[in-house]
Homo-oligomer: A and B are copies of this chain.
């Protein structure tokens, strides 16, 4: 699992800081999460192939999280993209993108699918044989979701009790793990569902930005390997965090601790602070495994 931080600063793009966008590499797939202005240039700078991106997840419709989307969608057309592109985000995203394509008379040369979200309950929005993605309902000034990505183990778990009861030889174990049925010597066929359980999940990644401190998300993100949680402010500006519905560094660490996550990546820093190490110092009093996001930085777990 790799996380490429394209941008991790709040509000406006500046000379040396970019608004939110990141690429999650999971099971050889690239998932783009949020797409602030300038995302396509950040993708080029980090040498991430545009063609690898087939799924884009937008947390909410504040500009610093999606103003780069229309440009990326247009650039895909100029690059002669053929693969389908799926965009997940709040209701409204489809109208915004399609209006701009319509008025500029430049529809995409590939299939563009919108999956608009409006539920305030966590829901599965993407699933294939390798990865599952669920929403994490967040609390912000507009409708917002975080996203929970889970790697699936491709191998099903053996139900050893049943397997032994049928006296099935170990040479069939791999077949069962990959979903196969087994025919016994007496001619009976035992369906795979009887011989195995659903596969375990492997690595998991939770992206939570933007949000106030919200313990409602704890059951959803419990025990994840990596939590990216916004920490726009330090505790000295806790009043601003409350007013603007953002989180302080200390609060982000508290969420990480209460959810028993293995690693916390902090980001979405306000540009008022000259030194992002201050976020780690403050959060470090609550939680140990802290990583500071920064534009251009990649993490591997």
A-to-B contact residues, CB < 8 Å: 11-15, 37-38, 40-41, 44-45, 61-63, 67-68, 70-71, 74-75, 78, 92, 95-96, 99-100, 103-106, 141-142
Counted per complex, copies of this chain come to 2
The residue in chain B whose Cβ has the minimal distance to the Cβ of A15 is B44
A104 touches B12 (CB 8 A): no
B41 touches A15 (CB 8 A): yes
B12 touches A75 (CB 8 A): yes
The CA-CA distance from A141 to B106 in the complex, in Å, is 10
The residue that A74 contacts in the complex, of B63, B78, B95, B100, with Cβ under 8 A, is B63
Known: A12-B78, A104-B61. A37 touches B71 (CB 8 A): yes
The CA-CA distance from A71 to B75 in the complex, in Å, is 18
The residue in chain B whose Cβ has the minimal distance to the Cβ of A142 is B105
The residue in chain B whose Cβ has the minimal distance to the Cβ of A73 is B63
A14 touches B41 (CB 8 A): yes
List, sorted by A's number, 9 A–B pairs whose CB atoms are closer than 8 Å: A13-B38, A13-B41, A13-B71, A14-B44, A38-B38, A62-B106, A63-B71, A63-B100, A67-B67
The CA-CA distance from A62 to B68 in the complex, in Å, is 15
Q: A63-B74, A63-B100, A67-B71 are in contact. List 4 more A-B contacts (CB 8 A).
A: A15-B45, A62-B104, A67-B70, A96-B99
The CA-CA distance from A44 to B18 in the complex, in Å, is 13
A103 touches B99 (CB 8 A): no
B74 touches A12 (CB 8 A): yes
The residue that A37 contacts in the complex, of B37, B44, B61, B62, with Cβ under 8 A, is B37
